[in-house]
Amino acid sequence: MKLNNFEKDQIQKAFDSYEVPEDYFDFLEKKILNNTIHKRKNISNKILTTSLLSISIAILSIIIYINNKNTYQDIDNFSKNYHFSILSNDSNLYVLDDKNKILYLNIDSNETSVINVLNELNIPENQKNSIKLNFKLLKNNLIAYNKDKNIESDKTSSAKIKNEKMDITTSLYMPREICSEKPILLSPSIPNIEQYNFKWSNGETGNKIYISESGTYSITITPINDQTSKPLYATTKVRILPPPTDISPKHLSGCVGSEVTLTLNIDTSKYEVEWMNTNKKSKSINVSTPGVYVAKIIGCQTYLDTFVVSFYHCDVIIPNAITPNGDGVNDRFEIKNIEKYPNTQVYIYSNDGKLIYQSKNYQNDWDASDVRAGTYMYKIIFQDKISQNGTLLIIK
Amino acid sequence: MTDPSDSYIISLFSNSETKTEGFKLLLKKYKEKVYWHVRRIVISHDDANDVVQNTFIKIWENLDNFHGDSKLYTWIYRIATNESINFISKKKSALFISIDELNENFLDHLKDDANFKGDDIEINLIKAINQLPPKQRLVFYLRYFSNMSYKDISEVMHTSENTLKSSYHQAMKKIKKFFSSTY
């Protein structure tokens, strides 16, 4: 069965009615290439993009909301050991060294005062130049950013202004490291946030992510309307470190001549530890002298864990009750093995704190003959300054 | 410039360095053919645009799985046809209407479609062809517009040549009937 020429013409005409927009096939080809071949290239470009970050202009910044306080943006990574930081609370500009020591620079600082500060820092000449350059760029961008923020808050902002915003959106920055005691919300702060696609390293695609676990998080941002532009990529290392749970002062005791082990109840793979006055950095230390021992636990903040350590002569046995009735048993306040410790002082106090007996060289000879029955307190001080307190019940 | 042969394009796929070059040539050679094939099935330009992009993305992602045991162009048409049919059934299930109703729907909008210039005569003919059962319609498109052999169509549609021949015959009969009742 075949179609005649009229029928063929009609069919041809009907299907010729389908049209495509002008230059559609060129557009189609570009679009497909962007989603196939070039997409793959972009992934390998990410590494390059990351390394370019340090020399490109900072405009996108990241706002981190930590417990609704200390909201800050951090624009950094401009040189190997130093980075700038902007705290939105006061809009001041800071330069931090590798130990996060703050070397203050005001946003209104002129170049001379920048140079003065840089000279104080004692950093190599080549780095100084890069810092100066970055300070300039950062300052300009901060001004642009603040201007931008004002524009954004203006509801009547026009499309023309939106275009200006797009032009300065050239690069994306995130703080290199974040440490927070509570889960954080990490979110880029960009003008016209709805015009971008977000892809986080954990697979999420929202414009903010809730981070409750430590790890390295990165974000790739592409403008929705412009698939051809290079994606912006940034990465940040997030540590979520709750405060140590067990840092109330602890009392420990041991026998003279032995060691007491002080152990911190934390995961030392996450927290940095430093025992004060010893410089030891281990989870536990052994001590053999009485005293107060303090460990610095450094998480996102520094905490102190205190141990009060006392030592006893464990071979000395002190009775807690005596019965001075002349039957030969427990008639005197007899401290076993006291003969090993000459010049031991013994003090007996009544319930109301009155000293009723004392000896500078006790010889197990107090029989409580001059006091009434009741509860008394004793204090024993050995020659080596170790002391022991307790209560003594006198039964008559 | 004449299009490069399929066997040349296939030879480029075997090497990871020339693979992208091969895909570019494939895209250049087939983008329009695939587009028109898809457009006939899904009718609206916007839908065809989506389906064609997905088709080529699929082709790119599956290039490594193409071993040359089927012809390149039937492989491409098979992916395009499947994508189109999937698209239509997705659209259908999203709208909860039958595929015939859906065609009606598309076709009712043809008049207002900026990318369609025909008038009632053309629309009625397209409507008639769209009322063919899906298989008959596909055979008709592939045979009539893409000049494919039954052997190649059977590779695209995974259907035996005899069934295809009979489907094509049925389609022709219905189209001729439409013409005789209209004119």
The pLDDT tens digits for A243-285 are 888 888 888 888 888 899 999 988 888 888 989 878 888 999 9
B145 contact partners, CB below 8 Å, separation of at least 6? A15, B36, B37, B40
Strand order of the sheet with strand A291-298?
Answer: A250-255, A302-312, A291-298, A272-275
Q: Give the nearest partner residue to B20 out of A13, A20, A37, using CB atoms.
A: A37
| B1: in domain | yes
Of the candidates A341, A339, A394, the one whose C-alpha atom is nearest the C-alpha of residue A368 is A394
Chain A contact set for B122 (CB, 8 A): 13-14, 17
Question: What total of structural domains would you count in chain B?
Answer: 1
Mutate to test the interface with A, among B33, B57, B122, B143 (most CBs of A within 10 A): B122
| B21: in domain | yes
Confidence band of A146 (pLDDT split at 50, 70, 90): low
Contact A173/A58 with Cβ under 8 angstroms? yes
| B139: in domain | no
State both tokens at A185: 């919300």
Per-residue pLDDT, averaged over A46-58, amounts to 35
User: Which residue of chain A is at minimal alpha-carbon distance from B26?
Assistant: A29
Per-residue pLDDT, averaged over A40-62, amounts to 37
Confidence band of A158 (pLDDT split at 50, 70, 90): very low
| B15: in domain | yes
Residue-range domain boundaries for chain A: 28-240, 250-312, 321-394
Contact A196/A223 with Cβ under 8 angstroms? yes
Higher pLDDT, B161 or B8: B161
For chain A, what is the mean pLDDT?
71
Q: What is the rounded distance in angstroms from the CA atom of residue B140 to the CA atom of residue A207?
A: 48
Q: What is the rounded distance in angstroms from the CA atom of residue A312 to the CA atom of residue A315?
A: 9
Helices (H) and strands (E) in chain B, counts: 9, 0
- Are the beta carbons of A3 and B176 separated by less than 8 Å? yes
Contact B155/B74 with Cβ under 8 angstroms? yes
Fold of A250-312: Immunoglobulin-like (2.60.40)
Q: Is A47 on the interface with B (CB under 8 A)?
A: no
* Identity at A168, one-letter amino acid code: I
Q: What is the pLDDT of residues A1-12, one digit of tens each?
A: 788 888 888 888
State both tokens at A52: 């370019």
State both tokens at B179: 């013409």
Half-sphere exposure of A38 (CA within 13 A, CB side): 13
Per-residue pLDDT, averaged over A358-382, amounts to 89
Contact A306/A294 with Cβ under 8 angstroms? yes
| B174: in domain | no
State both tokens at A53: 């970050």
For the domain spanning A321-394, the CATH number is 2.60.40
Q: What is the pLDDT of residues A60-108, one digit of tens each?
A: 233 222 222 222 333 333 333 444 443 333 344 455 544 444 454 454 5
Distance from CA of A29 to the nearest CA of B (A): 7
How confident is the model at residue A378, as a pLDDT? 92
Does pLDDT of A356 surpass 70?
A: yes
How far apart, in Å, are the Cα atoms of A347 and each of A315, A330, A334, A378, A389? 20, 19, 14, 6, 9
Q: How many residues would you count in chain B?
A: 183
How far apart, in Å, are the Cα atoms of A269 and each of A236, A242, A298? 20, 14, 11
Q: What percent of chain A has pLDDT over 70?
A: 62
| Apex A322 CA angle, A319 and A328, nearest 5 | 110
B4 by Cβ neighbours in 10 Å (0-12 / 13-18 / 19+) ranks as: middle
Q: How many residues would you count in chain A?
A: 396
Name the phi and psi angles at A219, rounded to 5: -135, 140
Contact A53/A232 with Cβ under 8 angstroms? no
- Are the beta carbons of B115 and A20 separated by less than 8 Å? yes
User: Which residue of chain A is at minimal alpha-carbon distance from B169?
Assistant: A1
Predicted-complex ipTM score: 0.85
Confidence band of B29 (pLDDT split at 50, 70, 90): very high
Name the phi and psi angles at A229, rounded to 5: -75, 155
Contact map slice: A 194-233 vs B, CB within 8 A: none
How confident is the model at residue A46, as a pLDDT? 45
Grouping H, G, I as helix, E, B as strand and the rest as coil, residue A180 is strand
User: Which residue of chain B is at minimal alpha-carbon distance from A35?
Assistant: B57
How far apart, in Å, are the Cα atoms of A176 and each of A43, A75, A179? 21, 9, 10
Give me the domain span that covers residue B78.
1-96
- Are the beta carbons of B175 and A19 separated by less than 8 Å? no
Strands A61-66 and A184-189, sheet pairing = antiparallel
* Identity at A329, one-letter amino acid code: V
Does pLDDT of B117 surpass 70?
A: yes
Q: What is the pLDDT of residues B51-110, one digit of tens each?
A: 999 999 999 988 887 876 678 889 999 999 999 988 887 776 655 544 455 555 566 667
CA A38: distance to chain centroid? 39
Grouping H, G, I as helix, E, B as strand and the rest as coil, residue A168 is helix
CATH of the domain at B10: 1.10.1740.10
- For A9-19, letters b (16+ CB in 10 Å) and e give ebbeebbebbe
